[in-house]
Amino acid sequence: MRDEIRNQKAELRRAALARRDAMTTEARIEASLAVADHVAASVDVTPGMAVSGFLPIRSEIDIRPLMMMLADRGARLCVPAIVEGKLVFRQLVRGAPLEPQGFGTYAPGPDAAILDPELMLVPLAAFDRSGGRVGYGRGYYDGAIASLREKGVDPRLVGIAFAVQEVGEVPMEPHDIFMDSVVTEAGVAAQAADASGRAAP
């Protein structure tokens, strides 16, 4: 059963990323700016709040404009870094050097402060209308979110994607975590049924 679900996810991932790759550069730029406006209008950020974002890889949506908007409201930005096979969130400060993390990603170095995000802007490969998420297949975000919750931190989870990455239904495994919402250039495209972002039953 587990192998069957993983195969289904792999196919959903492949097809959704192919659709994303087929977008023109101009379409990706316009959609990224639209997502920034939608998210900025729908989230409350208080000064000092830790917000995790991500730096785009390949054809991924570029949320750097959104991150700058939230920083202007006083958010402390952080991005994921891979440390001993797990994600931690290192504070992103303007002008600080970035180091390669593998998989084409970059993050601040080990001297950067580690933050526990209260709001997480989460990349994804595919999503459905209930907030189900297909990641890139390594489980980094699910593990990081579970670790935060073990520490008593319960971040709001906002998946970020292009509209073409939507699928009919994501098969969820016990360790998979629903997004509270998913935002695309068209607006809020998905909402968790109980808006809790809890792990799938």
Q: Binding site membership for substrate: which residues?
A: 55, 60
- 158 contacts: CB under 8 Å, gap ≥ 6: 39, 43, 119, 120, 121, 122, 179, 180, 181, 182, 183
Ramachandran area for residue 187 (φ above 0: left; ψ -120 to 50: alpha; else beta): left
Interior angle at CA 151, CA 149 and CA 153, nearest 5? 55
Q: How far is CA 40 from CA 21, 65, 66, 75, in A?
A: 25, 10, 7, 12
Annotated binding site: which residue ranges?
9-13, 55, 60, 133-141
Within its chain, how far is the Cα of 4 from the centroid? Answer: 25
Annotated binding site for ATP: which residue ranges?
9-13, 133-141
* 31 DSSP 8-state letter: H
Within 10 angstroms of residue 92's Cβ, the number of other Cβ atoms is 23
> Residue 67: which of 19, 123, 114 has the closest Cα?
123
